[in-house]
Chains A and B, each alone.
Chain A
Amino acid sequence: MSPTKCQDQVVLDLWHPLAALEEVPARTVQDTVLLEERISYVSDGEGKAAVWRSRPDLPAGSPVDIDTLGGCLPIKLAYGYIWTSLGTPPAELFPIPEYAEADRRKLNAATVGVNVSAPRAIENFLDMGHFPYVHTDILGAEPHTEVKEYDVELSVERDEIVATRCRFFQPMASTASTGGADVEYIYRVPHPYCSVLYKSSPVDESRLDVIAVFLQPVDQEHVRAHMMLCVLDEENEDKVIKRFQQTIFGQDKPILENQFPKRLPLDPRAETPIRADKSAIAYRRWLSQKGVTYGVIPAAT
């Protein structure tokens, strides 16, 4: 087998998302790019799928029978997406227990190509300071611009970053909102390129909506962002819920694409953080400790 273009073993060994299972046309080869490698995948339309390194005899669009395929890559179907790995992945993907709750709406809001490194996109996802300026009158509004003190910890047991006690005033927190409210957030970063956000549900104050971003690194400076929704909303059609999330993401996109440098600098002196960036600081440190080099500018040693 030819050597991979990505030399970062930590990243090679991760599970990476490729596509929303429901959107894949059945029994037809699909192509994508993961870590600069051409990857093909197929779904049988009945809950079974396969992934392999693209090969000339199975071009995109050709019909294929999963059962006769050989030489496939590891595969996992989770949270509505097809995941694979170019290395030796762990047995399990990080848990999102809420996904199993029957009364939740589970959707891929969209899969969007973004000209950004995966770690920069995760960092933006963790940031609350931009809400009033970028998501004006939806996720924030002036003069409610303060990021109040919140807690960040690295859960050693689960090997993930958790930010809790995050609160922000939001004029329209979701499609189910009827007006402005102080919204509580919990952020998890359980994977270097994936983050899961929990926020107060306008429908049931004892429960939280779950919004996750799963980034497929196309190369070090481009991703396919898969946005998973797992929310409480009995009123709105799927497309209305998707539209809300796409509106938010469309506002973030130019900000993400104008980050400079494109790769996330891990040297603590490279960029000056403020108190509101606590979770970003923990994230950068965690990537450094893991030895992630793909999509980042590693700290000088």
Chain B
Amino acid sequence: MITLYDYELSGNCYKLRLLMSMLGIEYKTVPIDFYPGREHKSDWFLKLNPLGQLPVIEDDGLVLRDAQAILVYIASKYDPSGTWYPRSDPALLGEISQWLAFADGITGTASAARLHDGLFYELDVEAARAGAHRLFRILDEHLWFGEQEGRDWICSAPHATVADIACFPYIMLSEEGGIPRQDYPAIRRWCDRLKRIKGFTVMSGIFPAGPARAA
């Protein structure tokens, strides 16, 4: 069984809880006192992940770090439908990798601003917010044009992929870093679509979608 080293308020940990919930996978949780205890920088944890970052999983003796890498692993191993990470479609895999890297950019900006405001991390918060807005603008346009073409998700597929999961949490939590989403209507519609996927689960700061509007 997968063991997840987890912190409730971490959007990166939530990515994995979300995918595992949608796939209906059972897993064990080891809570890490990320704040205020900084347990992810403790000696024992650094042996698990020398970068001192969450999340980490253990599965069948494999220790894996990095939310995006773990999404790829879990989807490849545990998704019988093969849709979350379609290994046989090179173009789609390229697109997914592109947006997984984009998700890392969201972590470096929107998540950083949230850590500054909520947990007092010292960093240039104005630069972080500006960086997040730049990425949100790019994603909003991408999603808007997708909607015109009948595409609901980030990548060119009729279903969500791990790229959608990877981008979702720190967009939803952006207001905690002083980054409003009023100007990104296509992002807001995409977030609601993602919340309606079967098996969707919440984390603190993210609420379920309301009932879908009648067509």
Contacts and interface: CB of A to CB of B under 8 A. Distances in A.
A48 interface: no
A179 interface: no
A250 B33 contact: no
Interface string A241-254: 01100111111011
B8 A247 contact: yes
Contacts of B176: 253-254, 257
B31 A246 contact: no
A242 B36 CA distance: 9
A23 B178 CA distance: 26
A251 B208 CA distance: 12
A23 B176 CA distance: 24
A11 to B, nearest CB: 22
Interface stretch (A76-84, A107-115, A191-199, A274-282): A107-115
Contact of B120 (A108, A113, A254): A113
**What's the dominant secondary structure at chain B's contact region?**
loop
Contact of A257 (B7, B8, B32, B175): B175
Contacts of A224: 120
Contacts of A72: none
Nearest to A224: B120
B33 A242 contact: yes
A115 B153 CA distance: 32
B36 A250 contact: no
Interface string A144-172: 00000000000000000000000000000
Interface in A85-135: 108, 110-115
Interface string A202-246: 000000000000000000000010000000000000111011001
Contact of B118 (A114, A247, A248, A251): A114
B204 A251 contact: yes
Contacts of B175: 254, 257-258
Interface of A: 20, 23, 108, 110-115, 224, 238-240, 242-243, 246-251, 253-254, 257-258
The list of the 7 closest CB pairs from A to B, nearest first, reads A250-B204, A239-B33, A251-B204, A247-B8, A113-B118, A243-B31, A250-B9
Interface of B: 7-9, 31-33, 35-37, 39, 117-120, 175-176, 178, 203-205, 207
17 contacts: A110-B36, A111-B36, A113-B117, A224-B120, A239-B32, A239-B33, A239-B39, A240-B31, A243-B7, A243-B8, A243-B31, A243-B33, A248-B204, A251-B205, A253-B205, A254-B176, A254-B205
Given A20-B36, A242-B33, A253-B204, 17 more contacts: A111-B120, A113-B120, A114-B118, A238-B33, A238-B37, A240-B31, A242-B37, A243-B7, A246-B8, A246-B204, A248-B204, A250-B8, A250-B9, A250-B204, A250-B205, A253-B118, A253-B205
